[in-house]
Structure 1
Amino acid sequence: MAITAARYRRPRCADTADTLRPNGPGDLRELRTVFHRVLKAGLANLPEEGFDEESLDVDRPGSPEEDIVPLEFDDPRAVDFRNYLRTWFRKAPWSSIHKHEMHAWLYWSIFNTRFPGIDKVSHVERTALHEVVGLIEHRSGSKSLTAPTPTNAIIRWRLQNEWRAQVRTYKDLEYVIRVPPKWDPASRVRPVVFMHGLGLGLTQYYHFIRHMFRVLPDHPILIPLHRTGYYAQPLEWLVFSCLATQDSPAMITRSCFVDPVTFCSWEGDLCYNFIYRPCENGFHLIVKYFVGTELGVANFLQRHFDWTSNSLWFEEIPKARDPQKTLFILGGKDAIVDAHRVKRYLTSHGIRKGLRFDPNGHHGEALLSSSPFHHEIVRWMQEN
């Protein structure tokens, strides 16, 4: 996690999707017929050995003759369908596959291109997606595809209505921003950018965000949100943070790193702990199944992760040895990164006064109000 006082611009990156020229989409009417046949497969009550050719005088018996009607959730046909459909989503739990992920997969399979978002597709494409998703809900015996994330939805509402923040989108990057009405860009009051880590979304960081809004009423606050969809790069915030620090250090006036995952990534601890380590306790299970195997996260980390772009080096941090400009917070019992080795890396480069190390601290614990470092972070942010 990184809290940075800065004026950010989005780094210009090559988009491989713009250079590739895949085959165009097929005929929509034909694809619609195919999807109907696919969804009908397995609906008919036929013996596994097949039908009796002598007694059944039908040229094409079986599922294509069935109607796609809503099934009960525990219907064996629905259970079988859900279980095998998960294969397209890296066998993620069915409860984690919602409408956005389903839209992205269907858009790719129908139109052979990346899903730009339901509000950005044509009326014809949107109609096709809604129709197929409705049929999938019937076939799977589940309405979970339409279920939003209630807690995050409530938090977004509270940020907008109680704190006058706005939720906006720039290209594929969603973010929360609060700009005080009387703020002047020419003033010495600099914007604060809060880069949160992977986890359970706004729910996990809401108390700290609310605290920032309260104690920094005159500062604009920007919170990039990583998307958790199949098509997006959910760690774009991390690449964004590192590239902005590397390419435009003059734009950053102060930086606070809380349990940062950007240091010592070449040593393999982060990769092993986050993806491959056998689960030994409840926290490990949460990290693995609710974060590490989330569709977009798994797709990015295991297929498209660029460790050089996601690594931050000491010499790339502006005024790293100045405790007034840079603060590092580490916990000795961090289950994600090897905090002891990160500490050694930082101290070997002369960082002393700006380093806080809690031997009993866990990952992200410093942002909790119960942590002794929580109030220190807030006080440090309030300093000019």
Structure 2
Amino acid sequence: MIGTSKPEYYFILVCIIGLHYLAPIALLYTLINLILHGFNIKATAYGVPLIIEIIAVAESLFFLCVFLPYKSYLQREAKHPNPPSRDEREELFRLCNENISDPEVYLRKWFLGAELEDIRKDNVKEFFLWAFFNRGGPPGDDEDELDEMVSATETLLGQPIEDGRGSAKCLRLTLDEVKMLHRSLVWYMCVGFVDFLTYMKLLYHGFHFHRTKLTRFFTLFPFRWQSLFTKYHSPAKHTTYWHRPHTSTTRLPVVFVHGIGIGYYPYTNFLNEINSTAGLGSNDPNEQIGIIAIEIMPVAFRITHHALSKDELCAEIDQILLQHFSPSQKFVLASHSYGTVISTHLLKTPSIAKRIGPILLVDPVSFLLHLPDVAYNFTRRQPKHANEHQLYYFASMDIGVSHTLSRHFFWNENIIWKKDLEGRKVTASLSGKDLIVDTLAVGRYLGGRSESTFSGYTDEEPEPVSLDRSDSEPSLLRLRGGGADSVEPHDDWKYRTWKGTGIEVMWHKDLDHAQVFDNATCRRKLISVLRAYCESG
């Protein structure tokens, strides 16, 4: 993730404009040529390099014949999972309400910043139908339960909610339109080139790429030509991965899942340094920590199959694990951002959960997922700063990412609570300037009680706490982001010593989402924790 400086802002805008408007310009150029010259190649090529003509025609055909039909196809309704049972809904609703620090901001942000007077009972019921019943439409037989939920919300707000329907519109991720922006062929050529660089770097670092069957070669674009040259095969139908053999007899291997982005390129140094960082790694080839790095192609800026359901993906990952580990082999589970959603699914799959040892979650999005920040900041926030424009154009509006989040991201399946991690060693790495996650809320949730232990790995020195801050400012001022710059007297969890037991937090005050992998010092701190987990089991 880039920063927020003016040069970075202008740089990212130039990149976006150049990539986004290439297709319309190519289409206009091709249309004018057809009108003036028809299909006379010699006439259209006069004075213009042939490569320009080829790019213009290719971009035009790609936009008309691939993007527009595919965009329409992806608008199909989501196949929602069965809703939780009534008892499960009541427990989920209770946990959500117990972890809402500002009920007014919570409700207004789910309703895209609407005023409270515009949010009425029917609006709230519509939101709860999506959130807890996995559907839209009229309340039907669920009216009484919805009334109870609305009543509990009124108690939480400390004021009644007006009857009827207001003008507010709520965010219902899997029911709303799938919003996406066109990607040029030039962009996909860049993605393919970065993918090749990743392939070469990981090969150099001792990893082997495991492809799916060659009959699936054309199901992913840009094509991965390296698939034609690897001798290693994935046992799964859809899921590819990287593998570094585990030779240590005293340490646990690592399973890693990446986040939304361009694949494993941003993680190559991290994966390599698990074994090679000076002072941390071992030069003994018989004491290397094995690594399986799972690829999630639908969120890796490709055109490919739709995101698998949690059960399908867990089954495929289990096939991969059993190919390299014995059924009783424990492993350290590490993941980043969207990958923490996959980690949540693995932890909720009993056959896999019993083999999961310590856990490292970097920039986790699964904690407090009932809060609107992740959904709002990733899909609805209008970008202003350079990092927000980067997130919006290159991630949020990507075809595969947008479809995955809008049709395959079911928050009540993806959320994880502290009670789900009881008895486990878990470290969550949080960044103070995270533009997606409300990291202060997550940190306070994980570290607000005495039974948890917390990390001394912090980039922030303790500052005197000022209690003169006015709390009378309008709540809407806090709708813009996670509020990670606010000061509270109970934030001592940022400075406690990491012990390697229980649920722990690493705090990086000045880093944004994913920047921990770019910062060598902070990256080594992650690796120190990971290696300690591998050694302690």
Which structure has more relative contact order (CA 8 Å, sep 6+)? It is: 1
Given that residues 258 and 264 in structure 2 are in contact (C-alpha distance below 8 angstroms), is that contact kept between their aligned partners in structure 1? no
Aligned pairs for 1:304-343 (under 5 A) are 304-320=408-424, 325-343=425-443
Quote the offset at 1:360 in angstroms.
Answer: 2.3
Seen in structure 2, the aligned counterparts of structure 1 residues 80 and 162 have a Cα distance that, compared at 3 Å, is closer
Given that residues 163 and 213 in structure 1 are in contact (C-alpha distance below 8 angstroms), is that contact kept between their aligned partners in structure 2? no
2:383 matched to 1:293?
no
Structure 2 letter corresponding to 1:315: K
Seen in structure 2, the aligned counterparts of structure 1 residues 268 and 256 have a Cα distance that, compared at 3 Å, is same
Seen in structure 2, the aligned counterparts of structure 1 residues 289 and 264 have a Cα distance that, compared at 3 Å, is same
1:242 to 339, 344, 356: 344
2:178 matched to 1:178?
no
In structure 2, the residue matched to 1:92 is 182
In structure 2, the residue matched to 1:197 is 259
Structure 1 letter corresponding to 2:345: L
Quote the offset at 1:280 in angstroms.
Answer: 1.1
SS in 1 for 2:512: coil
**TM-score using structure 1 length:** 0.61
Deviations 1:232-283 (A, max 9, x none): 3189555542121123333221111111111111111111111111111221
Q: How many residues align?
A: 269
SS in 2 for 1:211: helix
SS in 1 for 2:354: helix
Quote the offset at 1:208 in angstroms.
Answer: 1.0
Q: Which runs of 5+ in 2 are unaligned?
A: 1-29, 40-44, 72-180, 212-233, 314-338, 455-503
Judge which range, 232-241 or 219-228, deviates more.
Answer: 232-241
Seen in structure 2, the aligned counterparts of structure 1 residues 171 and 97 have a Cα distance that, compared at 3 Å, is farther
1:368 to 493, 518, 521: 518
Deviations 1:48-76 (A, max 9, x none): xxxxxxxxxxxxxx99xxxxx99954898
Between the aligned partners of 2:349 and 2:422, the Cα distance in structure 1 is 11
Between the aligned partners of 1:294 and 1:355, the Cα distance in structure 2 is 31
Structure 1 letter corresponding to 2:393: Y
2:278 matched to 1:231?
no
Seen in structure 2, the aligned counterparts of structure 1 residues 255 and 203 have a Cα distance that, compared at 3 Å, is same
SS in 2 for 1:223: strand
2:521 matched to 1:377?
no
Given that residues 72 and 78 in structure 1 are in contact (C-alpha distance below 8 angstroms), is that contact kept between their aligned partners in structure 2? no
Judge which range, 157-166 or 270-279, deviates more.
Answer: 157-166
Between the aligned partners of 1:77 and 1:258, the Cα distance in structure 2 is 43
Seen in structure 2, the aligned counterparts of structure 1 residues 46 and 286 have a Cα distance that, compared at 3 Å, is closer
Between the aligned partners of 2:507 and 2:431, the Cα distance in structure 1 is 6
In structure 1, the residue matched to 2:223 is none
Between the aligned partners of 2:244 and 2:267, the Cα distance in structure 1 is 16
Between the aligned partners of 1:358 and 1:74, the Cα distance in structure 2 is 48
SS in 2 for 1:305: coil
In structure 2, the residue matched to 1:130 is none
Q: Which runs of 5+ in 1 are unaligned?
A: 1-40, 48-61, 64-68, 99-143
Deviations 1:17-51 (A, max 9, x none): xxxxxxxxxxxxxxxxxxxxxxxx9799569xxxx
1:351 to 447, 452, 455: 452
Quote the offset at 1:369 in angstroms.
Answer: 3.7
Q: CA RMSD in A?
A: 3.3
In structure 2, the residue matched to 1:134 is none
Between the aligned partners of 2:341 and 2:363, the Cα distance in structure 1 is 17
Structure 2 letter corresponding to 1:221: I
2:358 to 254, 261, 264: 254
**TM-score using structure 2 length:** 0.45
Structure 1 letter corresponding to 2:357: T
Structure 2 letter corresponding to 1:232: H
In structure 1, the residue matched to 2:220 is none
